[in-house]
Chains A and B, each alone.
Chain A
Amino acid sequence: MRLHRTRFLPIAAVAAAAATILAACSSGGGTSTTSASSSKPIVIGASVSLTGDFSADGQAFQRGYNLWASDVNKAGGIMGRKVKLIFLDDKSDPTQGSTNVQQLISSDHVDLLFGPFSSLITGPTATVAARYGYAMIEGAGGAPAVFNTPSNKARHNVFDVSYPIVDQYDPLTNWIRSLPAGQRPTTAAYPIVDNPFTIPPEQRAQRQLEGVGVKTVYSKVLPAELPNAKSVADQVAATGAQAVLLGTVDVPTVAAFLKAFQQQHYNPKIVAATAGPDQGAAFIKAVGKSNATGVMTANGWYGGYDNPQSKQMVQEYIAKYGGSPSDINSDVAEAYGVGQVAAQAVKATRGTDQAKIISYLHSGVTLNSVQGPVQFNSLGMNMKPVVFVFQWQNGNYAQVLPVGAPGSGQILFPKPNWGG
């Protein structure tokens, strides 16, 4: 087929223009080399879930980012440059998250990208970031599915400042395994909402507990949008499992299970959830202080964490938003930690060149954050994570595991009765 000359010329012109635009985008994005002495603000983009199913977490993330930016700017910025945040709402939808990141890079020409909430959205958005050579520094994408994407294996652009979630239940399962056989739960249930964040730790915990003879009486993956948690919860209650390890990502699902358990007069010795109970006051509002007592979750941070940077952040958060340390959603610290790690990388590389930042973060250097030390492996997992198990005790979010770790208090076991 031959192209007609009059048709070919406009096509060639468009192609040339497109190539020019792409080149311009490329130079404005991944290979940006703004000098350290520039007085222009460092523009940071983040796609966060301000509406939708993850809005409570997304807005907590936004508060964490804002708090960090405010602290940095109060201290004169990073190497004299103020930071400016651009937030786009992903509506808790991975596709919208990817679109947002595309816009932040190619339209807003941000200097740095901060991660969204949840592994579900972080994975696809990091893939878009990789295409443009951007580092995706994030605090809530700890699922293996985020690290093992082909783009991250090729570009190594994901950096999760929090703990890898796959072994988040380890302190709990280790403690259960350490119990005398007579006290150890004999049966366990694993209702798992379908999400990259929930399945790996639940499966690992199930394997570990089965290894010491804890019989699995319920293990099912539930749809991501669970329309009627009550009927599933009633089935779990009917098994009489002595331990229930919920694989959840949000407060309403945990609340629905706890409500149904109470209605069924079913009180397991252990109730834990992968996420939900970590949301501070938001969890208590939905569940009630007395019904929350005894419920556990694993996390890398809590309001009472004995870390000077964390204490400072908690103080500032309370001054700005009110409440008590227990009320603070752990998402706030995860977001704040993202900012801290990014700032250290910008200072060390004396700019926002993405290739230099990626290379620096992979150099094995240990960085500081409100969640403790951060050191990345080749896929961007934090290799120095601090993971605790927390338990709600009469309105206080208390660190209880690992036993003997600094800050760990007495665990309530068996779990007190509902309303107790």
Chain B
Amino acid sequence: MGHQLLRAIIDGILAGGVYALMAVGLTLIFGVLDIINIAQGILVILAAYLSYLLSVHLHLDLFLGLLVTTPVMFGIGVLIQVLFMRRLRGRERTSMSLLASYAVMIIIEGILYLSFGPDYVTLNAWYVNESLHILGFYVPYIYLFGFGLAVIMVAALYLLLYRTTFGRSLRATMQDRTAARLIGIDINRVAALAFGIGVGVTAAGGVAFGATNAFNANSGYDLISRLLAIIILGGMGSIGGALAAAIMMGTIEAVVDIWSPTWSVAVFYIALVLVLTFRPQGLFGQREARAQ
């Protein structure tokens, strides 16, 4: 049983890394812009398809391909912000963002269906099906790389937010838009860049998801509820919280799977409710940060 439990914990932590890669962009966008980006799931799938194209047609390594897909996704993010989100103002902005991003999701899904059809595909590379044998466990390289990338990304976003002038502008916008504007911060530019970065980092989530799952244009639906649960548990806007919550989700589910897979998701949501009962702002969220 000890071995089984340890394997489940390893599985959970590694799966958490994959989910963190997909969720950090979502929490960043909410943290800065108060926008709940329902399109995050389909953006992960879009990123996975971009990696698929580069891998199949240009034989580009999946992680090397991020040098191309990340800027492309960044551009798409800026475009979405300018076309759909910028005009959302006032007290209803957050709720209206749900509708706007839902529209974005439907549009992207339709384009992907038209372009790739309904068949499932998966990303391939030598490390996708190979594993590292360590202490009696086979640990797949793709999950190891994904987890490492998640840690690096969280650290990089932390540095960006807390150690750069741009980060200070972002945080100022996050805390008080009006005051930020008064001290000369170009709110529109910051918002577009923040959205772009949030979508740009999703490129890594696309690789991790696409290499660990078969996907088609519809796969985004299954993702979004889990990604939202992760950022709520971690604390909306908290990047480190997204990683911690994703690991918690993965671990709880993998451990419960040992006894009853049908209960694994339910137990995670029960844990989520319990955490929110005692910490409504989530594990790492700051209550005052949202009070604008």
Contact = CB atoms under 8 A, between A and B. Distances in A.
Contact of B121 (A58, A59, A263, A286): A286
B212 A259 contact: yes
Contacts of B124: 288
B6 to A, nearest CB: 11
B222 interface: yes
A121 B67 CA distance: 43
B240 to A, nearest CB: 22
Interface residues of A, number: 40
Interface in B65-117: 109, 113, 117
A220 interface: yes
A137 B20 CA distance: 46
Nearest to A223: B262
B138 to A, nearest CB: 5
Contacts of B261: 220-223, 226, 232
A55 B118 contact: yes
B257 A231 contact: yes
A220 to B, nearest CB: 6
Nearest to B211: A259
A238 B4 CA distance: 8
A227 interface: yes
A230 B4 contact: no
B215 A263 contact: no
Contacts of B265: 223, 225, 227
B61 to A, nearest CB: 17
Interface string B114-132: 0001111110100011110
B113 A51 contact: yes
A358 interface: no
Given A220-B261, A265-B131, A265-B138, A231 B12 contact: yes
Interface in B19-77: none
Contacts of B109: 51
B118 A59 contact: yes
Nearest to A418: B129
Interface residues of B, number: 43
Interface string B251-289: 001100110111011000000000000000000000000
A281 interface: yes
B129 A234 contact: no
A353 B8 CA distance: 58
Contacts of A263: 129-131, 138, 140
Nearest to B257: A231
Contacts of A265: 131, 138
Contact of B129 (A58, A226, A251, A259): A259
A238 to B, nearest CB: 7
Given A251-B214, A252-B120, A263-B138, A228 B131 contact: no
A53 interface: yes
A285 B214 CA distance: 9
A91 to B, nearest CB: 9
Contacts of B130: 263
B250 interface: yes
B207 to A, nearest CB: 15
A255 B140 contact: no
Interface of B: 3-4, 7-8, 11-12, 15, 109, 113, 117-122, 124, 128-131, 138, 140, 212-219, 221-222, 226, 250, 253-254, 257-258, 260-262, 264-265
Closest 5 CB pairs of A and B: A231-B254, A286-B214, A255-B214, A252-B214, A282-B119
Interface of A: 51-53, 55-56, 58-59, 194, 220-223, 225-228, 230-232, 234-235, 238, 251-252, 255-256, 259, 262-265, 281-282, 285-288, 291, 418-419
